[in-house]
Amino acid sequence: MATDLDLFLYPNENGFIGKIALNTTGNVAIDKTLLSESKISTVVILDRSGSMGNSVPRFVNEILPGIFKALDYNKNDTIILITFDSTPNLYKIPANQLSKFSIKCQGQTFMATGISTLTKFIRNDLPKDCHSLRLLTISDGEVQDPANVQTEAAQLASLIKNEFTINSQAVRLFTSSSQPDTKAVSSLLQLNNVSNVNLLDLQTSLTNIEIIATIASLFSNDSLNRHAILKSDETILKSTPWQTTMNNTLSLFPGENLFWLSKLPTGNLIVGETNVKIHIKEGLTVDTYENLLKTKIEYYINQLKILKIVNTNESKNEIKDMMNYFQNMESSLLTNQDDVKILLNDSSLRARLQYLKTSIIRKKKSFVMRMSQIANDDKVSQLNSAQQADYLRAVDNTSKNARGLARRAVTQGLDFNEILRKEVRIMAEHIHELQDINDNDHLVSFFSQDTTLGGIRTVCELVSDNMLDDIDANDILRMINIVGVGCSGPIGEFPDPMTWRVNEIYVGCYVSLSDVLTAFIQSQGRSLQAPAINKDITNVIPIIEDERIAKFLQKYAPSLLEYTCSIGMRRLLADVPMTAGYTICAGVWKLIEDLNINKSEIHLRTFNEVVKTYEIVVGNYFQHIMPYIKPQQNNQLSYYIANNGTTNMISPFIKLYRENDTTKLEQIPKILRALYTYEIWQAIRRQYKNRDDSDQIAQKMLDQLIGLDLNKYKTSLQPSFEVEPSLNEIQFHDQIHTDEIYLDELLKTVYYVDYITLLPKYISAVINNNIDSMKNIPTINEKFICEELQINYALKTFKFYNVFQALVYTSKASRVDSDNEVMKMIDLVDEQAAKKVVQDYIRKRFENQYATDLALKGRAERTELSTILVQSILQATGHSQVVQLMREGLTRGKIQLAIANSSSLGFIELKNKLLDLNENVPRRLDIIKIFLLGRDYKQNDEPVWNNGNVLFTPDLRQFENIFNTLGFDAEWAKIKEEYMKRNLHVYRDGFNRHGHGNTKPSYWAYGYMTLQMYKDTISPEEFQEYSLTQTQTQLNQTNSSQTTGLAYYCGGISSYTLWQTFSSDGITMIINTASCNFNSTPLYFTSMAGTSDHWSLIGYTAIYRPSSNVFTVYARSTYYPNGTFLLIESQTFQWNVNWFGLSH
């Protein structure tokens, strides 16, 4: 047996890294002891679409045979050729028969099915002892199924990537000026696990010899046919550290091999017939680790670039796994470095600066940094095919050109690093402006033992030390050291920073967010805690004692404080205006709450400092509110402050006390009441907003709050056809039945609202430099709150009315009239006025319920009466009785019903029964004649119904069938002749856009919905004459449904009986369109019809909640402002909704 092979094992956190050198000498006897015979399956995936043209036979018959000859393939070696176009094909062809294989281009470029064909081949047909694959992909254009390509490729990768040794290469073939699809071919390049991938761009103008030599070079040194197998008695081997499954075998190639072991081997390791001898090495350092991986670095970087271009969820997860391993490994090694430990144990800014210098030196050498830049480059997926190909070929993505490529392609977003570097440079240029400031009495961080000014000076040293270009925004934020008071608060996205709140503020704990971030690194992931109380500090409320420092930051580094606070609020850099202002504002708000129970000197001093910092930082941001603070014309309405809440009013309060205008200060109680209203609305609103059914939820909440039971207290109706009393005679229920338990539950969500009343007093003390006076501000109680609000009734009742308003006026539009700068709700200062609003609402709800019940009663009465009328017509014994019933209808009580036209209630029932020979109708033919012609043919053709017009019907054949069946063919001929004379649509002067007019009417003017129906009804001679008169024939048109190559139309009429009350001044109708069978949500259009006053309606053309089978409309009237009367009139005047939908 040959000399043992040496395996060097390096301990790491998850096992061992193994290194073994496989040196083959060319000596057959020695090679045999190491190398194993290996079967290779070669697969060519070829784009066969029409754009490939003659390149398809050229590659198959000329280029591929040359490639396999150059790679010393045996003439009988089988080549798997998978072609993709509109459909995939798989061919198994011996290498020596490729030149004779008949093939040509065809179809479109659908690549996904080609990949699925490859997957099926590997699963079902690949020999079980074959574990090596060579893949060559060739394509010339953009694929037409990119999403499916990525899905199929991801499934294939999960199936084979860790089970096979794969050399996957690709060619972007330029057959025209179009760019081949880089992302599609890269989806297969990600399978490569033996070498760097190469994405070749080849012009078809190259000679066969040039193309053959280039492609053959991609496979000539992959050693797939002469690799060795490392075998273990245990399942502990894996080729990559992020691989989730272990194996007991591993492929080795000539040269140095690197792999990972989950534990120290206890059994035998062999390669071929050669034993493996294990050598345990010392623990890794940063330098030995990078030296160990140097043979793999370019492979991993290459692999990352491919995965970035592929950009699927699977590739993103693989990138994440790769980077987690390398970053954790490097962090672990760095932490163990003695020099780093020394620096991290010193929390001073000076040590932090030195740590940065050391880190910069290490980063420049770190291959993990290079990988991170690739992994974090989210712009790559947005590059076009040509740019992606250039990116993939870039030797090093840390180069300026490679980084610039992505920046040129995607211009959106901000470069936070450059913004902060620029601001630091400007500060360094003007740092002399702060030289006169003595910060000896400024707040000092307990962690860094330095001040805000010290942080500014240290950051500016980065410029003089020429370090600024080598650090990022996070490094700068860890240095700036803006000192304030530590706190805890939620971490989230907070697109609106106004909503951020402080959970707990640690008064006396002075620290900076820079310290919080640095401590996290020092402690390897643990939060910095407040001394003595040992509570986590998640954020810091900045305090800047010297106005010159604050103005210096605002002038030269306006983003620095914003970005610092963004990290504290979100743990990410985001350019959201006023993040700093609202962070400090939240501190003010929380301190007000704390001061209510603790007025210690440190609490008072902290509040004073935070308010003054807030005033400087916010400046005039809220100046636009100040003009609203004045006596307002309508004292009955809530005070108008442009719908601003407490957080936005702190700055105006400060300005009010600065101005000290008595008239304006007198408005404060009104402002406080308005803030109560706003804050309670916001709190209640959070329970239902952003929900599709928010209106219904708010309504249910309101009904429960006021105890509204429409069934228990409703007004009963009189029996059918009996007259109801007038609305003025009815006493509708209007009593409030407050659910006290539910009210308490709702008020818990806005517990903080009472602290609003403390704001003016505490802010006044700060502005007047009278901190001691804060000690005399009482702890809030109901008496104090009511006095500050200037209300003379119970506080809970006041809050009840606010909750009521929050549930009635749910949107800003319903609450605020911004154009006229007034509120739409009353000021709740007057208990009786507030109570009246609630009672009026309750009364209106019962009134609307009564109107709905009344409408349902009327609907039922009309339905019942229409049935009676139809039966009366059908059972009439004489012609005059038929005429009278069809002309005048029937009356019961105040209900009068006649079938006036085809839209009238009873029309469909009458028509259907007339056409049903199973119905007993004594005077059927007499009724049908009147029904069709609209007139009394026995009495001078006087109008009977339908305004004396003939019935517009799409198909006369159903009536003709009745006459023919009953043996009255001759009578039908007379009726039809008369019908055709009268049934003619009258056009306006001239011809319409279809060429039809009074001298050349269309089939529709004759009363037919389609040309086919018209043709089937008249004689061939008549149709020929009709056709000759038309300049063009309109095929397949109807006035209710139409199908063309472009769209599908369908329409109908929804009955007035479907209207329901919606609000105090509106009605609504849900319209069912299921009969149209739309296959997607169409565009709906509506119009209104009725016997009177329908022209006064507005709003019904707006479509709400449309779907393929239903939509909703709402209507109001300029005549009837009362919804109750509106519903009644909708029934009286039969307001039907005409509608149609347009869909694919």
Question: Which contacts qualify for 470-474: CB closer than 8 Å, 24 or more apart?
Answer: 470/360, 470/363, 470/364, 471/356, 471/360, 472/417, 473/416, 473/417, 473/419, 473/420, 473/563, 473/573, 474/517, 474/573
Task: Name the more confident of 254 and 988.
Answer: 254
Query: For the chain, what are the domain ranges?
Result: 39-225, 420-618, 624-829, 859-1034, 1043-1143
Answer yes or no: is pLDDT of 386 > 60. Answer: no
3-state secondary structure string, 594-617? HHCCCCCHHHHHHHHHHHHHHHHH
Answer yes or no: is pLDDT of 1043 > 50. Answer: no
pLDDT at 246: 87
Answer yes or no: is pLDDT of 956 > 80. Answer: yes
Answer yes or no: is pLDDT of 79 > 50. Answer: yes
Question: pLDDT tens digit string along 455-482?
Answer: 999 999 988 888 888 788 888 998 899 9
Least confident span in 373-377, 731-735, 736-740: 373-377
For 241-246, what is the mean pLDDT? 81
pLDDT at 177: 58
Question: Which contacts qualify for 896-900: CB closer than 8 Å, 24 or more apart?
Answer: 897/862, 897/865, 897/866, 897/869, 898/869, 898/945, 899/866, 899/869, 899/870, 899/873, 899/945, 900/945, 900/946, 900/1091
Residues 6+ apart with CB under 8 A from 80: 41, 42, 43, 44, 90, 91, 92, 121
Cβ neighbours, 10 Å, residue 81: 22
Least confident span in 180-194, 464-478, 710-724, 1049-1063: 180-194
SS3 assignment, position 753? helix
Percent of the chain with pLDDT over 70: 83
pLDDT, averaged across the chain: 84
Look at residues 872, 893, 866 and name the one whose alpha carbon lies nearest to residue 884. 872
Question: pLDDT tens digit string along 141-172?
Answer: 788 888 888 888 888 887 776 678 888 888 88
pLDDT at 780: 95
> 951: exposed, middle or buried (C-beta count within 10 Å: 0-12, 13-18, 19+)?
buried
Answer yes or no: is pLDDT of 412 > 70. Answer: no
pLDDT at 403: 42
Q: Where are the beta strands (DSSP E) in 972-1082?
A: 1041-1043, 1048-1054, 1060-1063, 1066-1072
Question: pLDDT tens digit string along 993-1010?
Answer: 556 666 677 766 665 655
H or E element at residue 1017: helix 1011-1017
CATH number for the domain whose boundaries are 39-225:
3.40.50.410
pTM above 0.75, yes or no: no
Answer yes or no: is pLDDT of 285 > 90. Answer: no
Answer yes or no: is pLDDT of 252 > 90. Answer: no
SS3 assignment, position 716? coil
Task: Name the more confident of 312 and 13.
Answer: 13
Spatial contact of 482 and 548, defined as CB atoms under 8 Å apart? no
Q: Which of 2.60.40.2080, 3.40.630.30, 2.40.50.140, 2.60.120.10 would CATH assign to domain 1043-1143?
A: 2.60.40.2080
Answer yes or no: is pLDDT of 704 > 90. Answer: yes
Highest mean pLDDT among 389-403, 538-552, 1059-1073: 538-552
Answer yes or no: is pLDDT of 870 > 70. Answer: yes
pLDDT at 392: 46
Question: pLDDT tens digit string along 789-836?
Answer: 999 999 999 999 999 999 999 989 899 999 999 999 999 999 999 999
Answer yes or no: is pLDDT of 925 > 90. Answer: yes
Task: Name the more confident of 1035 and 57.
Answer: 57
Residue with tokens 């308003």: 805
Look at residues 33, 477, 385, 480 and name the one whose alpha carbon lies nearest to residue 182. 385
pLDDT at 1033: 34
Cβ neighbours, 10 Å, residue 550: 20
Answer yes or no: is pLDDT of 916 > 80. Answer: yes
Answer yes or no: is pLDDT of 1016 > 70. Answer: no
Q: CA 409, CA 380: separation in Å to the nearest integer?
A: 9
Percent of the chain with pLDDT over 90: 44
Q: CA 43, CA 48: separation in Å to the nearest integer?
A: 15
pLDDT band for position 775 (cuts 50, 70, 90): very high
Question: pLDDT tens digit string along 118-129?
Answer: 999 988 888 888
Residues 6+ apart with CB under 8 A from 246: 235, 236, 237, 238, 262
Answer yes or no: is pLDDT of 990 > 80. Answer: no
Distances (CA, A) of 452 to 356, 458, 549, 605, 878: 19, 10, 9, 18, 106
Burial 414-453 (b: 16+ CB within 10 A, else e): eebbebbbebbeebbeebeebeeeebeebbbbbbbebbbb
Least confident span in 159-168, 667-676, 724-733, 1131-1140: 159-168
Answer yes or no: is pLDDT of 400 > 50. Answer: no
Spatial contact of 35 and 227, defined as CB atoms under 8 Å apart? yes
pLDDT band for position 1142 (cuts 50, 70, 90): confident
pLDDT band for position 757 (cuts 50, 70, 90): very high
For 12-28, what is the mean pLDDT? 76
pLDDT at 58: 93
pLDDT at 460: 92
pLDDT band for position 778 (cuts 50, 70, 90): very high
